[in-house]
Amino acid sequence: MNPKNYQAPDRLLENKVIAVTGAGDGIGAVAAKTFAAHGATVILIGRTVPKLEAVYDEIEAAGGPQPGIYPICLNGAVEKDYQDMHDRLEEIFGKLDGLLHNAGELGQRTPIANYKLESWQKVMQVNVTAQFLMTKSLLPLLEKADHASIIFTSSGVGRVGKPFWGAYAVSKFATEGLCQVLANELDGTSNIRVNCINPGATRTRMRAVAYPAENPASVKTPQEIMPAYLYLMGDDSQGITGRSVDAQ
């Protein structure tokens, strides 16, 4: 099965509860709307409430299940904040069938010799430590689902270290490692599968910052890469774990 060509059934995610970080814009917003269109109750996680509310309104207008909104700043949140997230989501939803770690911080595009510590720490906090803490806190909710899926967002620069990508590249190498460690720990002992997805070149705000000279029309839209996201989130990917999948 090639995830890029996956054709999802209309009700693929019916009765599933799926949390999406960075759900206010870009790939996260499109993923949330796509999951909802396939029947999921989506929890929109992000720091900018008006953006989350806009996605919420679009999901409702399209006839999707009523989503939830959970505002949090991944750069400033501490372990107790994620435990509170678990408690609140357990109280409202009772379980979690999926978690898409999509939020990310680009940081500086500069040589390591010039890289600022503050920028480095922020990128590692948002892209690695926050994902570790959120995943750790939400594992008990994911265990309550019949078949749960965790998806981490990787990058081509998280497989081959390219110059000037600094902390972002290092954080994506770490993301690949976290995915593999967790997948191997849960394999055979849990109903949770854990995979990475590499979106590839996609028309987003972060891409525009990273490649200011690029024509946005020359790269795919987030909508065009959703088949792989649906495949990994839906039950057709049961048994697939510890993989790093290209969406393009």
Q: Which residues are marked as active site?
A: 168
Q: Which residue has the tokens 């959703």?
A: 226
Output phi, psi for 150, to 5 deg: -110, 130
Instruction: Indicate the DSSP class of residue 126.
Output: I
Q: Which residues contact 47 (CB under 8 A, 6 or more apart)?
A: 24, 71, 72, 73, 74
Q: How many other CB atoms are there within 10 angstroms of residue 63's CB atom? A: 8
Q: Which residue has the tokens 């009523």?
A: 66
Q: For 107-200, where are the E strands, in sequence order?
A: 148-153, 192-198
Length reported for the chain? 248
Pairwise CA distance, residues 93 & 41, whole Å? 9
- Token duo for residue 213: 């000279």
Classify residue 123 by burial, with Cβ atoms within 10 Å: 0-12, 13-18, 19+.
buried
